[in-house]
Structures are given as C-alpha cells and as structure tokens.
A and B are shown apart, each in its own frame.
Chain A
C-alpha cells in the first residue's frame, strides 16, 4: 500500500502527548493567575462601590449611640467621638491611602480586614468566619445536589426527547426556572412551613436547643436546612435540567453519535460513552458559571429563613453602612465562588482532552 505523509504525521501525534502534559500544567498556571487577578479586582470594586453609597456610617453610628444613651451630647463631644471612630476604622485618611492600607493589612496582616461596626469591637474576619459555614453549607450542598439531580434528569429527558413524560418535564422545569428564588422560598415557607406544618421554616435550629453534638440538635439542624436548600435546589436544579437536556439533544445530533449507533453498540453504551460523556463537559462549565450567579439567591434565602449566614450579616452591615463588614462578606463570597470555579476549571482537562490545545 502507499506510503504517505499522514502516516509520518502519526509520530508527532504520539509525541504530542508529552507536550500535552506540559500544556495542562501551563493551563493550570494561567488559570491560577486569572483567579488571583479576579480576586483583586473584586476587592477593589467592592472597596470603592460601598464608599459611594450615600450615608455616612459615622452619623448612623452616632444616631444609634444617642438613642441608646437617651441624651444629647454637645457638638464638640460628638466631633471627638466621630474623630476617634474615624481613626479606629482608618477613615481619617484620603481614600487612595485607605485603599492601600486596606490591601496591605488584608494581605500582609494575616487577613486583617478591620473591626466591624455591627458588632464592634469584633473583627470582621471573625464575624465572617462565624457566619460562613451556614452560607457555604447551604449553598454548596444545594448547588451540588441540584447539579447532580438536574444533570441526571436532563440527560434522561434529553435522551427520551419525544416521549410525553419528557415533554411534561420540560414544561415544569421551564416554569420553575423562571420563578424567582424568593417566590419559591416564600411558597415553601407558607405551605410547607405554616399551612401544613410539615417542616420547620425559620431559624437555624429549634429555639430551645444549644449547638452541641447531640442527635436532637443535629436532626433539628438538618430538618431546618431542608426548606432553605430545597428553595435553592428547585430553581437551580430546573436550570441544570433544561441545560443538560439541551446539551444532550445537541450531542444526539452529532456525527459521532450516528457512527456509534452504526457500530451496533448497546443503547446504554451509546448513552453513557457517547452522549452523556460529551454533554457532561459543557454541563460542568455550567456548574462553574451557576456557582457565581446563584450565591445572591442564597443570601435572600438566608434572610427569608432567618439563618445566621453571610447574607443576613450583609443586610445588617448595610443598615449601618459598615464598609468593613460589607467588604469582608463580598471578599469571602467572591473567594468561595472563585475557588469553586477554579476547582471546576481545573477538573475540565480531565474530562476534555481538547482543552490542552484550545486553552
């Protein structure tokens, strides 16, 4: 048979695999650079945005103080108090210098994000650390569960695209997906929480309990977590279902699927190795995107269900124009989202050999 140029090109294909590993490393490195840059950009934007919101935190603080003490002070005393607070919160300096100091302390001072107003003199860092498990627990669990359920369900209704049941599932998912998360949460609170009293719909755990390692407390914690997580899951899960369905349908039209069928593979293998396997890649990317887009929904859910997470902390801080706390919440949320996204992105080359080339 003929010797040909293509056969020699085969050697370079095999050599390319060593280069492929190097490219994956470079991809990871580049991806990490993007991660750091995004983190910095987010802090910077948060720093300036909150300072542009009208309302001087000092006046609000002073008003609260006055109300608490029940008497007026003279102007000079007020001036002195304000000056003292400005110094404590590092607000006596020009804005650019404040910004530089903030970054310096955050990076070099072991995440010193300043004291909070909401719970002065508690450090914002400690406040955030205390609240974060609630948010991350609910958010991560519900997004991951929603992704798993949505991916499975979407794959199934995409595969059975013309069946009645599948079409019904599409209609339901579409309705759920366009419903705002707070409506779903309110619906669950009203019906399941109060009208039918099936599950608790407010607070982190039963009022009479203390956090401790007892079955009673843990089960109370878990039952209280069901409705908040369900609110998040319903809306996000519906989106994941529709997304996966669309991906499956487009993959089912690919030439390699026809070829897989032509090979006489069992339908299950075609579904698993050719359709699902390929639709999964953009679905994982979708997870990374959704992670960023749905954190605010979790904040709303926390407020509605009265959970002591970052969302409720943020609302409290906003009332006081507590820049330090607001920034810290934003910083940690962005950090959490970016980290999850980074993990997803770094996992992608494992799923998709082409990323080594295109990244």
Chain B
C-alpha cells in the first residue's frame, strides 16, 4: 500500500541574522493509512518543529529549508504539503489535514465561545449553521463531552476539557490525517489515559491516520502502532511498537525504554547527560557523547539510516554491514 504521507529530506531550522541553524535534519518518514505513528524523543529534539513544518505552521524564527511531504488522498491525488500554495493548502486543512498543536491549553481563543471556535472553520467550508453545529456536537460526543459545552468560554473549562474540545474540533471534519503534538503532557494520569483511549477510538470510528508526538514512551506504548524515535533533529530508529519495545536496536531507543518509570517506582538506568540544543549538535553520530556503545567511527561519520528487516530502520554504526563500510 502506498504511504498516506511520505516525508522526504525534511530540513527545518532557526533563522538568525546570519545563518540558519538546522533543528530538524533530513527527515525521511512514511505514514501508512489508518495507523497511529508515534514520534518520540526527549524534549527539545525537534519533534514540534517537525510537526509544525509538516503542517506549514512554522513561525519566525523557524524556517523550512528543504524537503517534501506528499499527502495521498482520494486514491490518486497527491499534494506536496511543503510546496503547495497557501491557498491550496487551506483547502486541505481540517478536511484532510488536522493539527493539534503543543500547548493546547492555550489553543482556544479566550474571548470566543466554544461553539464559534468549533464551527467557524466548518461554516467557511460551506456547511450550514445546523450542519456545523450538529457536527460539533457529534465530535464532542467522541471525546465524552456534552453538547451544552458549546455555550462555554474556554476559561470555564478544565484543562482536560479544553484538550478534549481541541481534539473534537480537529476531528469534526473527519480528517484523513491528524497530527497531535503532546496532547496529554499537561494532564493528570487518569485524564491522560482516557484521552488516549478516546483518540484510539476516533481512529477506529473515523478511519483517520494519526501521528502522535510525545516525549513519553508510555504514551507510545499505549496507543501507537509504529514508532519513530527522534534524537537531536534526526530519526534514529523506526519500527513497529512491539519490535521497538521488545528489541530496541538504537542505543538511544534502548536508553529511552530503560528510563520509563516502572510500577515499582524506581527508575532504572536512564539516559545520562543532556540532549544537545540545535546550536551544538555533535559531529559524527549526534548521540555519540552520550552513547554507552560509542566507538571509533561514531565520532567522525554520521550513520545513515539502514533497513533492518521488514519495516525496520536504524541509523547506527553498530548495524553497518562490514562489506559496506569503507574504514
């Protein structure tokens, strides 16, 4: 099956007076129709930049440098999101392409009622007032919220309710693809779990494809089908959830899994050190200063992403084929 979204060589960075510092470098990633793909990595590794770049919602000083992101919908139509005109892109938004940005607590306009904010985009797409409000109510139901909430202002809602309203708004047009950035981060554990369940149910009911972005391996374990592990602006490993959790290949993936808090409470050996900021991404393998398995060539040569069996990719010199290596 062709990928629903095919990201190729996506590079985005921060513009300063003189130069652009890449934050996300050369990302290649496929998203299959109907799946939930988790993008996971420590805070600051460029996940939100990647998401906003795909959505074409980078704000200064963030800039897109290169790459393509091809969205295939309705069988034969393919759109390169990164090179589409602003106007054409606007036609895709909400109908085919929904975004739940990080910081959803503040994603609702404080001075407009929920109803207005849930229906304005629908009305602009030609729905009647009745249809729009029916859709809004149906969407609220998907996240266990009552229709009467439409009359509220955002400040009258709890954090969990606001997050649900945002999700409801984002799915109200039954979009093809939903990009959800850290949707559970600011919430208590119980609400987190409920919202993830609701999101999974939405995928099943609406047949949507979801990219869920999180720093939390636990979220990935609960909801995702496949995982892309991100470190310092690069995708370092891709695989199914079961593969990655049972047998992580990349030392960074191994570290992330090892530092998931256990039921017993004690944190087992986590990741030592800190993730680098875009201004000092190390040369060679960007993970090498923190890698327990670092060796000679890691310090000079960046490892390329290599297939490791069906639907499994890893970028680490440990898995270089000896014949292919030239040192």
Judged by DSSP, the binding face of B is helix
A287 to B237, CA, bound (A): 56
Contact B157 A13 (CB under 8 A): yes
Q: Which residues of the partner chain B approach A212 to less than 8 Å between Cβ atoms?
A: none
A278 to B108, CA, bound (A): 12
Is A266 on the interface with B (CB-CB < 8 A)?
yes
Contact A259 B166 (CB under 8 A): yes
Contact A1 B144 (CB under 8 A): yes
The digit string for B87-117, where 1 denotes a CB below 8 A from any CB of A, is 0011111110011010111111111100010
Is A265 on the interface with B (CB-CB < 8 A)?
yes
Which residues of chain A from 256 to 307 have a CB within 8 Å of any chain B CB?
256, 258-266, 269, 273-274, 277-278, 281
Is A14 on the interface with B (CB-CB < 8 A)?
yes
Q: Which residues of the partner chain A approach B124 to less than 8 Å between Cβ atoms?
A: 264-266, 269
A258 to B101, CA, bound (A): 8
Interface residue range, chain A: 35 or more
A6 to B163, CA, bound (A): 11
Is A88 on the interface with B (CB-CB < 8 A)?
no
Is A353 on the interface with B (CB-CB < 8 A)?
yes
A9 to B146, CA, bound (A): 10
Is A254 on the interface with B (CB-CB < 8 A)?
yes
Contact B161 A6 (CB under 8 A): yes
Contact B106 A262 (CB under 8 A): no
Is A22 on the interface with B (CB-CB < 8 A)?
no
A273 to B194, CA, bound (A): 32
Is A211 on the interface with B (CB-CB < 8 A)?
no
Contact B146 A7 (CB under 8 A): yes
Given contacts A2-B144, A4-B191, A9-B158, contact A255 B112 (CB under 8 A): no
Is B183 on the interface with A (CB-CB < 8 A)?
no
Q: Residue A269 contacts which of B120, B143, B194, B201 (CB distance < 8 angstroms)? A: B120
Contact A255 B93 (CB under 8 A): no
**Which of B148-156, B266-274, B305-313 contacts its partner?**
B148-156
Is B160 on the interface with A (CB-CB < 8 A)?
yes
Q: Residue A263 contacts which of B94, B148, B194, B198 (CB distance < 8 angstroms)? A: B94
Which residues of chain A from 324 to 359 have a CB within 8 Å of any chain B CB?
351-354, 357
Most chain B CB within a 10 A radius of its CB, from A254, A256, A262, A281:
A262
Contact B152 A13 (CB under 8 A): yes
Is A253 on the interface with B (CB-CB < 8 A)?
yes
A116 to B112, CA, bound (A): 53
Contact A1 B107 (CB under 8 A): no
Contact B145 A13 (CB under 8 A): no
Q: Name the residue of chain B whose CB is nearest to the CB of A9.
A: B158
The minimal Cβ–Cβ distance linking A257 to chain B, given in whole angstroms, is: 8
The minimal Cβ–Cβ distance linking B258 to chain A, given in whole angstroms, is: 31
Q: Residue B110 contacts which of A3, A258, A353 (CB distance < 8 angstroms)? A: A353
Contact A278 B110 (CB under 8 A): yes
Contact A263 B121 (CB under 8 A): yes
Given contacts A3-B144, A14-B148, A256-B110, contact A354 B197 (CB under 8 A): no
Q: Name the residue of chain A whose CB is nearest to the CB of B105.
A: A255
Contact B148 A10 (CB under 8 A): yes
Is A179 on the interface with B (CB-CB < 8 A)?
no
Q: Which residues of the partner chain A approach B125 to less than 8 Å between Cβ atoms?
A: 264
Q: Name the residue of chain B whose CB is nearest to the CB of A252.
A: B59
Judged by DSSP, the binding face of A is helix
Is A16 on the interface with B (CB-CB < 8 A)?
yes
Is B55 on the interface with A (CB-CB < 8 A)?
yes
Contact B152 A7 (CB under 8 A): no
Is B47 on the interface with A (CB-CB < 8 A)?
no
Given contacts A1-B201, A269-B120, A277-B111, contact A7 B153 (CB under 8 A): no
A14 to B147, CA, bound (A): 10
Q: Name the residue of chain B whose CB is nearest to the CB of A12.
A: B156
Q: Name the residue of chain A whose CB is nearest to the CB of B148.
A: A14
Given contacts A256-B108, A273-B109, A281-B111, contact A264 B149 (CB under 8 A): no
Is A64 on the interface with B (CB-CB < 8 A)?
no
The digit string for B138-178, where 1 denotes a CB below 8 A from any CB of A, is 00001111101101110111101100101001000000000
Q: Which residues of the partner chain B approach A261 to less than 8 Å between Cβ atoms?
A: 57
Q: Which residues of the partner chain A approach B146 to less than 8 Å between Cβ atoms?
A: 7, 10-11
Is A17 on the interface with B (CB-CB < 8 A)?
yes
The minimal Cβ–Cβ distance linking A19 to chain B, given in whole angstroms, is: 10
Contact B107 A258 (CB under 8 A): yes
A281 to B110, CA, bound (A): 11
Q: Name the residue of chain A whose CB is nearest to the CB of B164.
A: A6
Q: Which residues of the partner chain B approach A7 to less than 8 Å between Cβ atoms?
A: 144-146
Q: Which residues of the partner chain A approach B149 to less than 8 Å between Cβ atoms?
A: 10, 13-14
Q: Name the residue of chain A whose CB is nearest to the CB of B118.
A: A263
Selected A-B contacts with CB under 8 Å, 27 pairs? A2-B194, A4-B191, A6-B145, A7-B145, A9-B158, A10-B146, A10-B148, A10-B152, A11-B148, A13-B149, A13-B152, A14-B149, A14-B152, A16-B152, A255-B107, A258-B52, A258-B59, A259-B166, A262-B94, A263-B121, A265-B124, A266-B124, A277-B112, A278-B109, A278-B110, A354-B111, A354-B153
Closest 9 CB pairs of A and B: A264-B93, A263-B121, A262-B99, A259-B107, A255-B106, A13-B156, A353-B153, A255-B103, A256-B109
Which B residues are within 8 Å of any A CB, using their own CB? 52, 55, 57, 59-60, 89-95, 98-99, 101, 103-112, 116, 120-121, 124-125, 142-146, 148-149, 151-153, 155-158, 160-161, 164, 166, 169, 190-191, 194, 197-198, 201
